[in-house]
């Protein structure tokens, strides 16, 4: 049966509803007389009913038209329509009671219908009109479903999100999914039936994939146990099963979920960890009504910081960056999401002391989050003078001005590459840390440093690079099969920075729990699979060799450092070696060397300041041989 594209005309629906009403009335009488009655009883009842049958149909028709029941689209009947039908039948029955009362007291002493008939008619009329609509809906859905073989689907999560996913798939007539079952970590749910679909424990996944020919697993748990989810993901990868994900309810369109929103899972989803629990009140107390300066505000971390800070009612947030286009795009995005934001955009460079002094004089920020830096290892290895100018002198400018203008806190964003640095970039960040730590006791400003590893999806990180290489058909380039890195999401990193800023008392270096390190080559293989491609057949992985200054394994702590727990389980405090006036003198000499543009002299001075800086795979290894 093929349904027309246009909806049915309204008048046949009204006629069918009236016929259903008549059938309901007849059956109500039949039930009242136990499905049989003498001829005399029928004649006598008809004499009473004949005088009210016209009123019955008139009331039914009036109520239908008044409540617009006939205007509801039958093929898309929902529980909202069922509720309307219930009130329609109830309203009609109330009118029957009223008119029956009038007839009894003012006319012939009879009610319109016996009480039992009235009750039965109400029940039957409601059930039959609802059933009629669901039959039409069922026929429509079946007639419009995609014919042929469908992709067999398991939904991971038998909670609300999983149930909504199942309903959405079944409702979408153009979907080529067929839900075979739910899997869930909760053993108590195993064996239960949810809307006709059986729930299995997660441990049965491999068996289900083999026996039920599963093609897709949809992750529908919003806050899953990370270890269990990882087992599901790894098994699906090994079995070449497609992994899809249901987005957070916050991103559902107008509060409703569509199958179009079921997307293939991204590599960021696989590397993310359990959500961070923040002390929101403490952060709000720190930032509320404060003037906050964010340097590098158009970058990955800086922009993430701004978005987080705006949630805590700051008086003003100053967005500082020298990247005009990136800042323009970011500010447009911010203002399109919310108007009247307390932001001030400043285009400027942290390396220019006079420009920074004017900024501090104009706004007098009390809270500074310093994210501006050069971060690309190979580029800085070739340009150490620029690394010094931005990462060291730029930081020095801001530190000195923060003290001069009495800022409350200065939070520096550092990197795991500052630990036992093997490259210019990491060493320049370590020197910036040393300067900030040394200046901590000179004024009321508390200087705090935070270290973490690679940020997923940040500008220039490995994931966007791999995505681009896959789009171009490969090869994916990996510098070494053994190389590993720590990863953290942008929101996670920004949230931990804010939390660390509330813990620090000044002079602290905080390191974040980065979880387990990830082999970059495994990351590349997973991204190939997520793209629906096959390694070696569709796309190659090419080993290119370590780049200058690159090391196989990143570290978060120096060998001579120890960690202490803090109030937050994901934040540790590093106990670092003390530095003093000698380091400050050497840093001043290092900055003066910028004018010379002699890379060897600059790097030699860096090694003098940071003795643990040992170059790796770099022309500067010659400086370590003596």
Distance of alpha carbon 418 from alpha carbon 548, whole angstroms: 16
Task: Say whether pLDDT at 256 is over 60.
Answer: no
Tell which residue, 182, 267, 174, 258, has the closest CA to residue 220: 182
For the beta carbon of residue 547, count every other beta carbon within 10 angstroms.
16
Q: Name beta bridge partners: 542.
A: 477
Distance of alpha carbon 362 from alpha carbon 374, whole angstroms: 26
The DSSP code for 441 is G
Q: How is the chain split among helix, strand and coil, in percent rounded to 5?
A: 50, 15, 35
Q: Name beta bridge partners: 369.
A: 294, 411
Mean pLDDT of 302-317: 91
Q: Name beta bridge partners: 539.
A: 535
Structure tokens belonging to residue 418: 């500052």
The active-site residue out of 137, 166, 417, 439 is 417
> DSSP strand E in 474-609: where?
476-478, 484-485, 487-488, 508-512, 518-519, 541-543, 562-565, 571-575
Mean pLDDT of 439-454: 84
Confidence of residue 271 (pLDDT cuts 50, 70, 90): low
389: Cβ–Cβ under 8 A, 6 or more apart, which residues?
A: 351, 591, 594
Mean pLDDT of 109-124: 74
Q: 616 near 562, Cβ under 8 Å?
A: no
Please say if 417 is a catalytic residue: yes
Per-residue confidence (pLDDT) for residue 294, from 0 to 100: 95
- Residue 284 burial (CB < 10 Å; 0-12/13-18/19+)? middle
Residue spans per domain, the chain: 10-144, 151-265, 280-455+487-515+555-620
Per-residue confidence (pLDDT) for residue 149, from 0 to 100: 66
Distance of alpha carbon 366 from alpha carbon 293, whole angstroms: 8
Give the CA distances from residue 596 to residues 350, 387, 533, 608, in Å, rounded to whole numbers and listed in that order.
21, 14, 51, 18
Residue found by looking up tokens 């200065």 in the block? 410
Confidence of residue 273 (pLDDT cuts 50, 70, 90): low
3-state secondary structure 505-529: CCCEEEEECCCCCEEHHHHHHHHHH
Per-residue confidence (pLDDT) for residue 360, from 0 to 100: 95
Give the CA distances from residue 292 to residues 83, 329, 365, 391, 451, in Å, rounded to whole numbers and listed in that order.
53, 21, 5, 20, 20
Mean pLDDT of 477-482: 85
Per-residue confidence (pLDDT) for residue 351, from 0 to 100: 95
CATH number for the domain whose boundaries are 151-265: 3.40.50.720
Rounded percentage of the chain residues whose pLDDT exceeds 90: 22
Mean pLDDT of 578-584: 82
Mean pLDDT of 516-540: 80
Distance of alpha carbon 183 from alpha carbon 190, whole angstroms: 8
Cis peptide leading into residue 475 (ω within 30°) = yes
Residue found by looking up tokens 């800070």 in the block? 309
Q: 126 near 85, Cβ under 8 Å?
A: yes
Q: In terms of CATH architecture, what is 280-455+487-515+555-620?
A: 3-Layer(aba) Sandwich (3.40)
Per-residue confidence (pLDDT) for residue 441, from 0 to 100: 77
Rounded percentage of the chain residues whose pLDDT exceeds 70: 80
For the beta carbon of residue 26, count every other beta carbon within 10 angstroms.
12
Q: Calculate the CA 501 to chain-centre distance.
A: 25
Task: Say whether pLDDT at 255 is over 60.
Answer: no
Distance of alpha carbon 604 from alpha carbon 180, whole angstroms: 65
Residue found by looking up tokens 């004499």 in the block? 47
151: Cβ–Cβ under 8 A, 6 or more apart, which residues?
A: 176, 177, 178, 215, 216
- Out of 110-119, 250-259, 449-458, 464-473, the most confident range is 464-473
- Out of 30-44, 254-268, 376-390, 458-472, the most confident range is 376-390
List the end-to-end C-alpha distance of the chain, in Å, as a whole number.
88
The DSSP code for 319 is E
Q: Calculate the CA 413 to chain-centre distance.
A: 24
Mean pLDDT of 555-570: 67
Mean pLDDT of 187-200: 87
Phi-psi region of 550 (alpha: psi -120 to 50; beta: other; left: phi over 0): beta
Give the CA distances from residue 295 to residues 347, 411, 449, 457, in Å, rounded to whole numbers and listed in that order.
10, 11, 14, 20
Confidence of residue 48 (pLDDT cuts 50, 70, 90): low
Mean pLDDT of 344-355: 95
Q: 154 near 206, Cβ under 8 Å?
A: no
37 or 16, which is more confident: 16
Per-residue confidence (pLDDT) for residue 430, from 0 to 100: 93
Task: Say whether pLDDT at 578 is over 80.
Answer: no
Per-residue confidence (pLDDT) for residue 433, from 0 to 100: 92
Tell which residue, 214, 213, 145, 207, has the closest CA to residue 174: 145
The SS3 of residue 175 is coil
Task: Say whether pLDDT at 193 is over 60.
Answer: yes
Task: Say whether pLDDT at 73 is over 90.
Answer: no
The SS3 of residue 562 is strand
Per-residue confidence (pLDDT) for residue 411, from 0 to 100: 92
The SS3 of residue 320 is strand
Task: Say whether pLDDT at 231 is over 80.
Answer: yes
Cα maximum dimension of the chain: 124
465: Cβ–Cβ under 8 A, 6 or more apart, which residues?
A: 477
Per-residue confidence (pLDDT) for residue 254, from 0 to 100: 44
The SS3 of residue 365 is coil
Mean pLDDT of 37-45: 63
Q: Which residues of 146-168 are buried (b: 16+ CB within 10 A; e: fewer)?
A: eeeeeebbbbbbbbebbbbbbeb
Q: Which of 271-280, 385-394, 522-531 has the lowest mean pLDDT?
A: 271-280
Per-residue confidence (pLDDT) for residue 576, from 0 to 100: 72
Q: List, for residues 155-184, the tens digit of each pLDDT value.
A: 888 888 888 888 877 776 667 788 888 888
The SS3 of residue 478 is strand
Task: Say whether pLDDT at 560 is over 80.
Answer: no
Average pLDDT of the chain to the nearest whole number: 80
Asked if domains 151-265 and 280-455+487-515+555-620 share a fold, the reply is yes
Q: Which of 104-113, 136-145, 429-438, 515-524 has the lowest mean pLDDT?
A: 136-145
Q: Which of 450-454, 490-494, 507-511, 530-534 has the lowest mean pLDDT?
A: 530-534
The SS3 of residue 432 is helix
Per-residue confidence (pLDDT) for residue 36, from 0 to 100: 63
Mean pLDDT of 310-320: 92
Instruction: Report the helix count and the strand count for the chain, using DSSP H and E.
Output: 22, 22
Task: Say whether pLDDT at 434 is over 80.
Answer: yes
Task: Say whether pLDDT at 356 is over 80.
Answer: yes
Q: 318 near 362, Cβ under 8 Å?
A: no
Give the CA distances from residue 402 to residues 396, 398, 408, 570, in Å, rounded to whole numbers and listed in that order.
10, 6, 8, 28
Helix (H), strand (E) at residue 333: helix 324-337
Mean pLDDT of 569-581: 76
Confidence of residue 50 (pLDDT cuts 50, 70, 90): low
Q: 425 near 563, Cβ under 8 Å?
A: no
* Cα radius of gyration (the chain): 35
């Amino acid at each position: 049966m093929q349904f027309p594209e246009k909806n049915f005309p309204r008048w046949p629906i009204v006629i069918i509803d009236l016929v259903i009403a008549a059938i309901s009335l007849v059956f109500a009488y039949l039930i009242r007389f136990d499905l049989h009655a003498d001829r005399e009883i029928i004649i006598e009842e008809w004499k009473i009913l004949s005088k009210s049958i016209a009123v019955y149909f008139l009331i039914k028709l009036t109520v239908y038209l008044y409540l617009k029941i006939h205007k509801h689209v039958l093929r898309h009947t929902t529980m909202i329509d069922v509720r309307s039908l219930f009130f329609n039948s109830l309203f009609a029955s109330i009118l029957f009671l009223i008119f029956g009362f009038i007839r009894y007291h003012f006319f012939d002493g009879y009610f319109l219908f016996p009480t039992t008939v009235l009750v039965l008619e109400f029940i039957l009329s409601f059930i039959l009109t609802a059933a009629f609509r669901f039959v039409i809906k069922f026929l429509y859905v079946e007639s419009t479903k995609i014919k042929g073989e469908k992709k067999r689907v398991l939904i991971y999560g038998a909670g609300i999100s999983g149930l909504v996913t199942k309903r959405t798939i079944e409702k979408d007539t153009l979907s080529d999914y067929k839900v075979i079952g739910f899997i869930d970590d909760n053993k108590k749910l195993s064996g239960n039936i949810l809307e006709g679909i059986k729930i299995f424990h997660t441990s049965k996944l491999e068996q289900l994939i083999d026996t039920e020919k599963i093609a897709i697993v949809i992750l529908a748990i919003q806050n899953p146990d990370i270890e269990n989810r990882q087992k599901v993901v790894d098994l699906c990868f090994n079995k070449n099963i497609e992994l899809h994900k249901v987005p957070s309810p916050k991103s559902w369109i107008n509060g409703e979920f569509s199958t179009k929103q079921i997307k293939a899972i991204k590599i960021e989803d696989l590397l993310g960890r359990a959500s961070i629990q923040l002390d929101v009140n403490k952060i709000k107390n720190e930032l509320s009504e404060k003037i906050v300066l964010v340097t590098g505000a158009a970058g990955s971390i800086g922009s993430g910081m701004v978005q987080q800070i705006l949630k805590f009612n700051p008086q003003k947030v100053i967005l500082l960056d020298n990247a005009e286009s990136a800042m323009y795009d970011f500010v447009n995005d911010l203002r399109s999401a919310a108007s009247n934001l307390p932001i001030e955009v400043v285009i400027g460079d942290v390396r220019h002391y006079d420009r920074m002094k004017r900024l501090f004089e104009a706004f007098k920020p009390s809270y500074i989050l310093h994210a501006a830096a050069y971060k690309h290892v190979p580029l800085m290895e070739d340009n150490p003078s620029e690394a010094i100018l931005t990462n060291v002198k730029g930081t020095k400018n801001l530190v000195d001005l923060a003290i001069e203008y009495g800022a409350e806190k200065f939070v520096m964003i550092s990197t795991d590459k500052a630990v036992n640095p093997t490259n210019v970039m990491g060493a320049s960040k370590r020197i910036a840390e040393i300067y900030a730590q040394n200046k901590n006791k000179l004024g009321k400003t508390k200087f705090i440093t935070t270290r973490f590893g690679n940020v997923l999806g940040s500008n220039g990180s490995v994931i966007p690079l791999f995505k681009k290489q896959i789009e171009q058909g490969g090869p994916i380039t990996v510098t070494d099969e053994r190389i590993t890195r720590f990863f953290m999401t942008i929101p996670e990193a920004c949230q931990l920075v804010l939390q660390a800023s509330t813990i620090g008392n000044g002079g602290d270096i905080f390191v974040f729990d980065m979880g387990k390190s990830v082999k970059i080559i495994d990351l590349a293989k997973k991204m190939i699979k997520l793209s629906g491609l096959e390694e070696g057949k569709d796309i190659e992985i090419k080993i290119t060799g370590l780049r200058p200054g690159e090391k196989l394994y990143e570290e978060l702590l120096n060998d001579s450092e120890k960690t202490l727990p803090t109030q937050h389980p994901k934040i540790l405090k590093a106990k670092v070696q003390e530095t003093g006036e000698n380091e400050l003198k050497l840093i001043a000499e290092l900055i003066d060397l910028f004018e010379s543009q002699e890379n060897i002299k600059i790097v030699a001075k860096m090694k003098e300041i940071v003795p643990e800086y040992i170059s790796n795979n770099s022309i500067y290894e010659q400086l370590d041989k003596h």
